[in-house]
Amino acid sequence: MKIRPDQLPNALEKQLQPIYIVSGDEVLLCQEAADSIRKAASHYGIEERLRYVADAQFDWQEVLNELQALSLFSTRRLFDIQIDKLGEKHSKALTQLAEYVGQDNVVLLSLPKVDSRTQRAKWFQKLEQQGTFLQVWPIDQSRLPAWVQQRAKQLNLHLSREAAAILCERGEGNLLALSQELEKLVLSHGPGTQLDAETITESVADSSRYSIYDLSDRLLTGKLKEALHCLHQLRSEGIEDSILLWLFNRELTTLNQLGALAHTHGLRQACQQLKIWDKRIPVYESAFSRHNAHTLGYMQRYVALLDQSIKGLSGPDIELGFRNLVLMYCGVKPVATELDI
């Protein structure tokens, strides 16, 4: 059964399905949907949760064995499985998983965005038939101010349309960063406050000496000392590591896309195709003077390792990991990394 995110609360109130598939690239909305399912599982008496992150080397047999085994602690268990990148190995295992899920277990699968071809695959259709598929779409730019206003209302904060638009411009569509900004506003102005555009502009100007987009400029232009200082300031001010990693990954994705297009169209035309502002083109030209497909691929793999650390799994030290990424962006050889071992 396929449902929209806004239909999830009512669906969870009616009954708990044996399988939930949460799919999408919008981190905050996917996290909140998954949290709602976990909370509902607890409400229905499921106290034991088994958490897995399935990478390319993951041993699926461990999950399949657990699905067939009896729990020593409870009659029902939640299998919380995150897959960051689907592959053939995963699809084969998920076909088996669908056969093993029964009334004693609930499986929550957190997946990246799945395309229509994947949704037509036999393993996917089998899972969907047994449970609920929740496709989380990014919020369109035109609807983003309304989303911010609604989010603020949930925090007992009242924003004018213009105030919400200013926040959206600052956050550049990153819902996690926007959510954090709203929480800061509640702390600084108090619940129940009415905020207009002027107040928001002043608050945004005072809230941080640097923004994550200042860090972006310093990374792409290779200003090592300034980038390291900016990173230190942002982490000191409490900017979440997941937001910082989102920025590093976003710029890497853009650079990879530009690199692929620039082979046939040239960098400036590639920037135009990706709708990059003219004033930002020199910034990306600077980055390409230091990087090629090999270095970008290396950095992408390191971002994936650091993502595991931020999620509480094995990986590099988080502070050292961010410093290494800054060094890589700026074209400086980093401290020895796990990728070198």
Give the Cα separation of 325 and 318 in Å (integer). 11
Residues 274-291 pLDDT 10s: 878 777 889 999 999 999
**Which residues are within 8 A (CB) of 195 and not within 5 positions of it... i.e. 6 or more apart?**
157, 158, 159, 160, 163, 185, 189, 203
Same domain, 80 and 174: no
Point out the domain boundary residue: 135, 169, 196. 135
Q: Specify the residue for token string 């230190």.
A: 232
78 & 96 share domain? yes
> What pLDDT is recorded for position 204?
66
pLDDT for 341: 39
Q: Return the bridge partners of 135, or none.
A: 23
Contact between residue 299 and residue 308 where contact means Cβ atoms under 8 Å apart: no
Query: Within a 10 A sphere around the Cβ of 20, how many other Cβ atoms?
Result: 29
Q: What residue type is 75 in one-letter code? A: T
| Residues 156, 103 share a domain | no
Higher-confidence residue: 186 or 8? 8
CA atoms of 219 and 251, how far apart (whole Å): 9
Any idea which of 125-134, 188-197, 244-253, 282-291 has the lowest mean pLDDT?
188-197
* Confidence label for 12 from pLDDT (cuts 50, 70 and 90): very high
Any idea which residue has 């983003």 for tokens? 144
Mean pLDDT of 258-279: 85
CATH number of the CATH domain containing 45:
3.40.50.300
Same domain, 287 and 236: yes
- Which percentage of the chain shows pLDDT scores above 70? 93
What is the per-residue pLDDT across 13-25, written as a single tens digit (0 to 9) for each? 999 999 999 999 8
Instruction: State the DSSP string of 114-150.
Output: --HHHHTSHHHHHHHHHSEEEEPPPPPGGGHHHHHHH
CA dist 46 and 12 (Å) reads 14
Which range has the worst mean pLDDT, 37-41, 110-114, 115-119, 179-183?
Answer: 179-183
The CA-CA-CA angle for residues 57, 61, 66, to 5°, reads 130
In this prediction, residue 109 carries a pLDDT of: 94
Tokens coding 248:
């590093």
How crowded is the C-beta side of 120, counted as CA atoms within 13 Å? 3
Whether 7 and 130 share a structural domain: yes
Upper half-sphere CA count for residue 263 (Cβ side, 13 Å): 8
| Sign, CA torsion 60/120/249/107 | negative
CATH code of the domain covering residue 302: 1.20.272.10
The total number of structural domains in the chain stands at: 3
Rounded Cα distance, 168 and 178, in Å: 7
- Report residue 38's pLDDT band, with 50, 70 and 90 as the boundaries: very high
Question: Which amino acid does the sequence have at 284?
Answer: Y
The owner of tokens 């270095």 is 295
User: Hey, how many other C-beta atoms are within 10 angstroms of the C-beta on 285?
Assistant: 15
The reply to whether 321 and 221 lie within a common domain is yes
Mean pLDDT value across residues 297-313:
90
102 and 117, same domain (yes or no) = yes
Are residues 201 and 221 part of one domain? no
H or E element in which residue 168 lies? helix 161-171
Range of the domain at 330: 213-340
Residue bearing the bigger pLDDT, 213 or 126: 126
Judging by beta carbons within 10 Å of its beta carbon (0-12, 13-18, 19+), is residue 181 exposed, middle or buried?
Answer: buried
Same domain, residue pair 246 and 335: yes
Same domain flag for 6 and 129: yes
In the structure encoding, which two tokens stand for residue 17, read together? Answer: 């399905």
Residue 339 reports pLDDT greater than 70: no
Q: pLDDT of 193-232, one tens digit each?
A: 898 888 888 776 555 455 777 899 999 999 999 999 999 9
Same domain, 322 and 198: no
Q: Are 227 and 325 in a shared domain?
A: yes
Domain boundary among 165, 192, 207: 207
CB 48 within 8 A of CB 77: yes
pLDDT recorded at residue 128: 92
Q: Report whether pLDDT(72) > 60.
A: no
Q: Which of 98, 116, 135 is the last residue of a domain?
A: 135
- State both tokens at 118: 């994947």
Question: Cα(293)–Cα(257) distance, rounded to whole angstroms?
Answer: 10
Q: Region 60-71: what's the mean pLDDT? A: 81
| Residue 192, domain CATH | 1.10.8.60
Average pLDDT of the chain, as a whole number = 86
